[in-house]
Structure 1
């Protein structure tokens, strides 16, 4: 199993709106993708920003192409992300899950 980790950042005032968007748009997109297993979505805030970590779990690295395309290292964004995200990291990180 492969864990794919993405990180993002919004303004604090966008925390709830972005969380709602991810629940309504992105999470269903992940769940309908062949090879997807599960996900964990994390968030935290400080005085100025809200930080997100999305950890998705996949059967193997090859099935991630069903979601991300041929370049599995490239981060995938939705057009609506432009309303919320402060920066757009180009890549994600993959880890082999060797224990749960």
Structure 2
């Protein structure tokens, strides 16, 4: 299994709107891709007037990740209205190979 992570930040006043947007776009994209084994969308208050979103997804293979992300799986996937919400974002993602799990 491979874990893929990404971070983005919104203004705190947009937290709820961005959550709903993520559920319609990114969440559906992740769980709708064969080989996705799960998705966790998390958030926390950050410094200043910001909320940090941390997305964690689990994949069965690199092929499944590429089916979602394209030929360069290190690049983050963005959706058309992301610029309306994100005040900062990671443009690349991190991948980790799982070597032990309790689930």
TM-score normalised by the chain length of structure 1: 0.94
Structure 2 unaligned residues grouped into runs of 5+: none
When structure 1 is superposed on structure 2, of 83-92 and 10-19 the one drifting more is: 83-92
TM-score (ref. length: structure 2): 0.91
| Cα distance in 1, alignment partners of residues 71 and 33 from structure 2 | 15
> 1:62 Cα deviation (Å)?
2.3
Q: Runs in 1 of length 4+ with deviation above 6 angstroms?
A: none
SS in 2 for 1:86: strand
- Residue 11 (str. 1) matches residue 4 (str. 2): no
The answer to whether the aligner puts 1:88 opposite 2:94 as a matched pair is: no
The alignment's C-alpha RMSD in Å is: 1.1
Matched, 1:79 2:80: yes
Q: Which secondary structure state, in structure 2, belongs to the residue aligned with residue 19 of structure 1?
A: helix
Deviation at residue 32 of structure 1 after TM alignment: 1.0
Q: Deviations over 1:55-97 (max 9, x none)?
A: 0000012210100000000001001111100123220000011
2:26 counterpart SS class: helix
Counting matched residue pairs gives: 100
